[in-house]
Each structure stands twice: as structure tokens, then as C-alpha cells.
Amino acid sequence: MKTRYFQGWLGVTIPLLLLLLLTLQMVWLEPLFRPLVDARAPAIYARDSFLNLLLWHLAAVFIAILAATLVALGGGILVTRPVGRDFLPLARAIANLGQTFPPVAVLALAVPALGFGLTPTLVALFLYGMLPIYENTVTGLQQVPGSVIEAARGMGMGPLQQLFSVELPLALPAIIAGIRMSLVISIGTATIGSTVAAKGFGEVIIAGLLTDNMAFVLQGGVMVALVAIVIDGIFQRIEQRLSPPG
């Protein structure tokens, strides 16, 4: 049992250790990257520390997805209540629109209004991250068996008691899955934020593209992928933990 538990977390701990190692000691890999670049060009990105970039990248993603979660969860709950049921199609249309609108276009539109930097990136990630969470919240709440709701009502639970002690706990795994999807998508999408001067691993990739430095592109790409794998792994395990038994 103990070893199985440990093995269950191996898929997270190994990428996590790798991520921390590369964040702090990317220089160790200089011999690997050296052949990819001109002799005079730097092989390791050094204009900012990888730790700093990691923190900025994560901050942007988590702030945006936290906000997206609050709005999408609230919206999902609202449209599955008797009062909000009429808004179900409308809310879905709005969330879909947020998803189909390319993040690059959001950035382009947001910069004149919000200036350069983190803010337009947050807006783009927020809009882009809402749909999976919203969809999963609605699906999760709608999948609660009718007999369970009927029993809850029949025993005298009020609407809020039904929501918090029956519906949300049963929908929680689906909601967490939605948040996980949004996070993973956002970790990738956040790289384009660097085109409007938001800090993050996108900066490394863009610097590499501008100076024709394949080593930089690779370093940025690897870091983004590792972050995504780690976050995905952690949330998958939270999801399993919260699934009702059976």
C-alpha cells in the first residue's frame, strides 16, 4: 500500500525534481546546448534567472485561472439553479466565444486599453480559461442523479444545503478536471504574453526566435512543458482523491 502510494506520486515527483533542477542549474546543461548555437552566442539564457521567470509564469497562470474559476464556477452554479436555468444557452454561448477568440487577438485588443505587461496577458488567460471550467461545472452538477436530489429535497434540505452538501461534493471531481485543463492550456498560452512584455518563459522562446538561437527556444519550451506536466500530475491526483468511492 505504502509503495503503491509512493509510485502513484512518482509521475509527479520526477518531473518536479527535473523542473527545480533546471530552474536553478540550467548552466549544467551548457555542453548539451552549445552545439546548437554560434560560437559567439550564449548557449544558456541569462538575461533573467529561470527562477524569476518560473515565478512570474506561474503567477500569471494562477491569478488568471483563479479568477476564471470563480466566475465560471459561479456561472455554472447559477445556470443549474431554477432561477438561472433560462440563462444556460446564453452563458454557454458567451463561454464559447471566449474560447474561440484567439488569445493573440485578445492581447492585441487589450494592449491599447491596458498597456503592456502582465495585465493584458491576465485578461487573455482569464477569458481563455473559463470555458473548460464552466462546461465541467455544468456537466458535473447535471450528472448528479435525480433520485439523489429528490431524496435531498424530500428530507428537508434547503437549496443551499443541497448545493453544498450534496451537489458540489458530487460534481467536484469534474470541476477539478476542468480547472486542470484550464491550467495546462494556460501554461502554454501564457508564453505569448511575452510578446507584450509580460515576464515568463515565453520571453526565453521569443528571445531565441529573434536572435535565431535554437538553444533558447528549446530551454523555454522544455521549461513550459515541465511546468505543465507537474501541474497536470498534481491536479490529476487531487481529482482522484476527491472522487466519491465506487
Partner 1 sequence: MIEVKNLCKRFDNQAAVNNLSFRVESGQFCMLVGTSGCGKSTTLRMVNRLIEPSSGQILINDQDVTSLPPEQLRRRIGYAIQGVGLFPHKTIYQNIATVPRLLGWNKGDINARVAELLTLFKLDVDTFAGKYPHQLSGGEQQRVGVARALAARPELLLMDEPFGALDPLTREHLQDELLRVQKLLGITIIMVTHDLEEAVKMADVIAVMDKGEILQMDTPEALLRHPRAGFVQNLVGGLDRALRLLTIQQVSEVMTTLNAGTLPPSTPTISHGTNLRDALSLLIWEHAERLGVVNDAGDVIGQVAMAELLQQGART
Q: Which residues bind partner 1 (CB under 8 A)?
A: 145-158, 161, 166, 169-170, 244-246
Q: How far is the CB of 75 from partner 1 (least distance, A)?
A: 24
Residue 112, all three cell numbers = 491599447
Residue 146, all three cell numbers = 435525480
Contact status, residue 79 vs residue 138, Cβ threshold 8 Å:
yes
Q: How far is the CB of 153 from partner 1 (least distance, A)?
A: 6
Q: How far is the CB of 164 from partner 1 (least distance, A)?
A: 12
Residue 115 has a CB neighbour count (10 Å cut-off) of 12
Q: How far is the CB of 58 from partner 1 (least distance, A)?
A: 31
Kindly give, in sequence order, each residue whose CB lies less than 8 Å from that of residue 45, ignoring residues fewer than 6 positions away: 26, 204, 207, 208, 215, 216, 219, 220
- CA dist 120 and 196 (Å) reads 8
Which of 144, 205 has the CB closer to partner 1? 144
Which of 211, 240 has the CB closer to partner 1? 240
Which of 74, 158 has the CB closer to partner 1? 158
Which of 31, 154 has the CB closer to partner 1? 154
Q: How far is the CB of 156 from partner 1 (least distance, A)?
A: 4
Q: How far is the CB of 146 from partner 1 (least distance, A)?
A: 7
Which of 14, 151 has the CB closer to partner 1? 151
Which of 35, 245 has the CB closer to partner 1? 245
Closest CA to 88 of 133, 134, 153: 134
Closest CA to 189 of 85, 113, 102: 102
C-alpha distances out from residue 29 to 13, 22, 26, 199, 237, Å = 21, 8, 6, 23, 31
